Amino acid sequence: MKNTLLAYFTEFIAINTQSDPETDTYPSTEAQELFAEVIAGKLSVMGMKDVNVDRWSYVTATLPANTDEKLPVIGLIAHMDTSPDYSGMGIRPNIINDYNGSDIVLKDGIVISPAEFPILKNYVGKTVITADGTTLLGGDDKAGMAEIFTAMDYLIKHPEIKHGTIRVAFTPDEEIGAGVDHFDTEKFGCDFAYTIDGGDEGEISYECFNAARAKISIRGKSVHPGSGKDSMINAALLAAELNALLPDETPRNTEGYEGFFHLTDIKGDVSRASLEYIIRDHDRQRFEARKQTLKKAADKINARYGSRVETDIYDEYYNMAEVIEKNKSVLDRAVKAAEKAGVVPDIRPIRGGTDGARLSFMGLPCPNLFTGGHNFHGPYEFVVLESMEKAVETILNIVTA
């Protein structure tokens, strides 16, 4: 199983499938369309049935039941794209067999050190996989893809293992919040599903942030600086002033269930400025209050300088706990499957979101399972091959329970 898993993973990460938030196409990049066709072909060759790539580049396939016992139809979902936050072009995996616990020195001065990432100490003697320092690794979520592929390959090669109908899906554009914009849950036809898109070994999540995005545009008043007394209004300074009105609750200063305001982009000059934020909180009431806090900050700027600020705040997804708590058997199944694989379940909230959050509100309860990855979206990313194996075992235990 280990060799199969590693082969799928290294093959998938070699293909650059970054999503792009600046395009107006779906999927957002042509590379994802091409990748969808590649993985559909691999699913067909493997022996999966009903393999399909739809107009939106969703890839779906079925492993039919091999028992007459009435069992639920279970879905397994991973996303094809990698984050646009850091380069995914020309990923070269650095495979460290029997990791010795020392610093992992990569190109461009990148050092993945146990001093900064103490969890590395848990993986002495394991197989640690990084990129070379110039790119992200792509474990988010090609580790999840490889684990689903490996599990299906194993079941096809071992027909003596009885299971119900299994549906798999691979989605584009998850990293830019659009992963299930066009996903047809009714057509997918599952009783429940799992996204394989989590972090370190044992992580099982059914809680996530409530999420919103804010786009703020500011109109200044450009006057020659030599004669700007009491007349110039510098849009860039207004942007800084608005940000200073927000509480110091940023990703750097928060953890656990604490929410935040995250300034993701700022541009400006005297005439015009813009800011973009993501707003996150696990609690719905605090989430709504955060959106109002940002609006009030804009209102204060407008009160001081006239109507200079326009805000566009829109919700992206909600905390899937609202749905999963009414379908706890789906979570219990995952916990028991992990325990059967010899994994200690670590049920914790996601400080982010997954396709599963939106799918849960679309009628498909969908907790999130670990992949064995760490430090996603940058050059410090790594995955642990043995943890990936445990993810495969957990998947197999879920679908054969």
From the list 102, 93, 94, 150, the residue with the least C-alpha distance to 125 is 102
Q: Are strands 49-53 and 128-130 parallel, antiparallel or unpaired?
A: unpaired
Which residue carries 């919040």 as its tokens?
A: 177
Catalytic residue among 173, 174, 355, 389: 174
Residues 6 or more apart in contact with residue 272 via CB below 8 angstroms:
217, 218, 219, 220, 235
CB atoms closer than 10 angstroms to residue 188? 19
What CA–CA distance (Å, rounded) separates 62 from 220?
Answer: 56
81 is catalytic: yes
CA atoms of 309 and 320, how far apart (whole Å): 33
- 50 noted as active-site residue: no
Active site residues: 81, 174
